[in-house]
């Protein structure tokens, strides 16, 4: 393994973990938004501001993480059956990321119809996706 490969891999891991940190916390903010009393406009606006900033930050981390992943795949010839499953997980994670944006928009437009319980369950999906990606990369089960 070349040292260039190891540097790319290290930064890919850091960026993916950081991106997921945003995906772990953003739905948690939505739990809080779903629980804000109707008469608490200041709290709602504060949580919306935090959510918007976190979404932007996570989005800024997503792009270089994906770029380095593509570089590992195409530039360094990372292969294996596990990679197809991991790429499927990546596609789902990108969808989850964009779903977070759609859910945030529903809060911004005061059209959210989902309960805080729903957001608690939705929040767990990011943990399962992260776990699946890590297991596929480390264990390479096929």
pLDDT (tens digit per residue) in 100-136? 999 999 999 999 999 999 999 999 999 999 999 999 9
Where in the chain are the domains?
3-139
Write down the pTM of the prediction.
Answer: 0.94
Cβ contacts of residue 23 below 8 Å, gap of 6+?
58, 93, 96, 97, 100, 126, 130
Give residue-wise pLDDT tens across range 10-45: 999 999 999 999 999 999 999 999 999 989 999 999
Task: Give CA angle at 71 (67, 73), nearest 5°.
Answer: 115
Q: In this predicted model, what pLDDT tens digit does every residue of 44-69 receive, in sequence order?
A: 999 999 999 999 999 999 999 999 99
Residue 117 CB neighbours (<10 A): 10
Q: What is the pLDDT of residue 20?
A: 98
């Amino acid at each position: 393994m070349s040292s260039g490969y190891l540097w790319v891999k290290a930064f890919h891991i850091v960026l993916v973990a950081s991106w997921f940190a945003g995906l772990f916390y953003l739905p948690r903010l939505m739990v809080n938004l779903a629980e804000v009393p109707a008469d608490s406009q200041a709290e709602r606006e504060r949580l919306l501001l935090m959510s918007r900033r976190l979404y932007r930050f996570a989005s800024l981390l997503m792009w270089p993480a994906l770029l380095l992943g593509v570089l590992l795949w195409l530039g360094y010839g990372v292969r294996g059956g596990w990679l197809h499953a991991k790429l499927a997980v990546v596609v789902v994670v990108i969808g989850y990321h964009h779903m977070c944006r759609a859910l945030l928009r529903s809060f911004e437009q005061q059209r959210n119809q989902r309960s805080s319980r729903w957001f608690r369950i939705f929040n767990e999906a990011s943990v399962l996706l992260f776990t699946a990606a890590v297991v596929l990369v480390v264990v390479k089960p096929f």
